[in-house]
Amino acid sequence: MFSASKLEFFEHFDNQHLALSYDDVRLQTCANKYNLLDKIDTESSFSRNVSLKAPLVSAAMDTVTESEMAISMAKMGGLGIIHAALPVDTQRKEVRRVKKSINELIEDPVSVKTSSTLAEVQKLIEDKRYSFTTFPVLNNEGNFVGMLGGDDFKYPDSLEISVEDAMTDITEVISADPETSTEEAYRIMQSNKKSTLPLVKDGKVSGLYLFSDVSRTVRESEKYNVDSNGQLFVGAAISTYDERNPDSFYERAEALSKYTDVIVIDTADGDSYYAFDTLKRLKEFRQTSDNNFDIVVGNISNGPSARELANEGADGIKVGQGPGSICTTRRETGIGMPQVSAVAGCVRSMFNNHVNDAIPVCADGGITQYGDIPIAIASGANSVMMGGMFAGTNESPGEITVDPDGNKHKIYRGMGSASALRDNEASRKRYESNADKIVLAEGVEKTIAYKGSVVSVADLCMQALTKGMRYTKSPNITTLQSEVELIRITNAGMRESLPHDV
């Protein structure tokens, strides 16, 4: 929760019915209370059970997050939310792709027969140009009986001996269940000092792990945002339940639930009857499902709504109505709360009303400068979701176009823009738009400069965050959230904050 003086800051503006956004505030520096020469800890969470090593989340938009973006985000310690404007099977495949992306499992490995000779296997390797020399060995019934490895070719008396005589017999081989994850495989191979781990059930081999592959992945994955099985965390968006088409909601929930760590109920009006109803239905569905997943609801911008959603069992909330860079909701509908006050209001409301277990808050939209990231977190957010920041990268969906001057661009569009409403059922649901009428779009489409890989963009975001944490002497996200003071600045102060008079 906020420190007393931070609370007073927000209450002061609340009492005047005045709301603040990123450009209205800066963070106050302070003397060094902690030894910050050691690592700054940026661990946080997106929802109750989905942790983050970097509090960055890519938006559920059709020009921002599909599997490629989500893989890169999770590998950088963050998270991607696969957008819902995809046919259900495609969205399921995209989510699965992320989940399986650091799986070092060799599925259906090439096997050899006991009766073959080493010479025959050698010829097979040459003919097929295999780059490996490790094979599960099967008997005539197709059952696993041993392993043949590179060393078995090194010192045989003759290459004419049979595989059966050269192989390591099943009695000396360690095998594991077909469901074994990369992390578990690493542990098993390391503790048994084995370089291979065949996955065997009822005598049949379904997969193979090699220690060389697995140990490399485990080493590299230190900074990855992974679940307890060592697989990348991934989220997916779902539209609100539609009474006119109940089956499609459950079909999608079912499809996503198998591989998704968190399902985000994606609506522009996250405290509507439909949002609460969808939360209830999804929770009921989860109880009947073999797979556990978190449920995050968004978007809202009002404190009491956060409290209600937390009380109804949401595992996280997403805050932001109208701050998005491609958003025209505030202009077209007159609603909306500037983002610093919206985030702080939701956080305060949850604590004020004794929601014992305050749920994580994601500040969604309106981050245009890197410095807005530490400000969002100092306003109480556990994570920030960004669309415009990550759009226009290699990993965002869409073509790169080149203009006559040779400049490269990509399209970034609001999910409530006219073209997205035309193209996507999910967009029409998010903005409750009727395809039969001329639509009141709530977003725009624009071309943005091509930025290269999202890895460098996200790295700059993290540099900004950790520098902000250093200046404010915050060793971790909790300190930045609860203790670091905000100061209200004037227009003159903001002008001074930007490059000027040069």
Interface residues with ligand IMP (CB under 6 A)?
59, 61, 299, 320, 324-327, 329, 364-367, 385-389, 414-417, 442-443
- The catalytic site residues sit at 327, 428
Give residues with Cβ within 8 angstroms of 307, minimum separation 6: 349, 350, 352, 353, 355
Nearer to ligand IMP, 320 or 374 (CB): 320
Distance CA 482, CA 473 (A): 12
Nearer to ligand IMP, 163 or 461 (CB): 461
Distance CA 414, CA 166 (A): 63
Contact 70, 393 (CB under 8 A): no
Nearer to ligand IMP, 105 or 343 (CB): 343
Nearest distance, CB of residue 499 and ligand IMP, angstroms: 22
Nearest distance, CB of residue 369 and ligand IMP, angstroms: 11
Q: Burial, 5: exposed, middle or buried (Cβ in 10 Å; 0-12, 13-18, 19+)? A: exposed
Distance CA 17, CA 19 (A): 7
Nearer to ligand IMP, 166 or 327 (CB): 327
Q: Other C-beta atoms within 10 Å of 412: how many?
A: 23
Contact 258, 291 (CB under 8 A): yes
Nearer to ligand IMP, 136 or 416 (CB): 416
Nearer to ligand IMP, 259 or 390 (CB): 390
Distance CA 124, CA 129 (A): 8
> Tokens 């902000």 appear where?
468
Nearest distance, CB of residue 267 and ligand IMP, angstroms: 10
Distance CA 138, CA 62 (A): 47
Partners of 412 in beta bridges: 446
Distance CA 436, CA 384 (A): 35
Q: Taking CB positions, which residue lies at the least distance from ligand IMP?
A: 443
Nearest residue to 320 (alpha-carbon basis) of 372, 278, 283: 372
285 three-state secondary structure: helix
Nearest distance, CB of residue 200 and ligand IMP, angstroms: 45
Nearest distance, CB of residue 321 and ligand IMP, angstroms: 8
Partners of 273 in beta bridges: none
Nearest distance, CB of residue 391 and ligand IMP, angstroms: 7
Contact 227, 259 (CB under 8 A): no
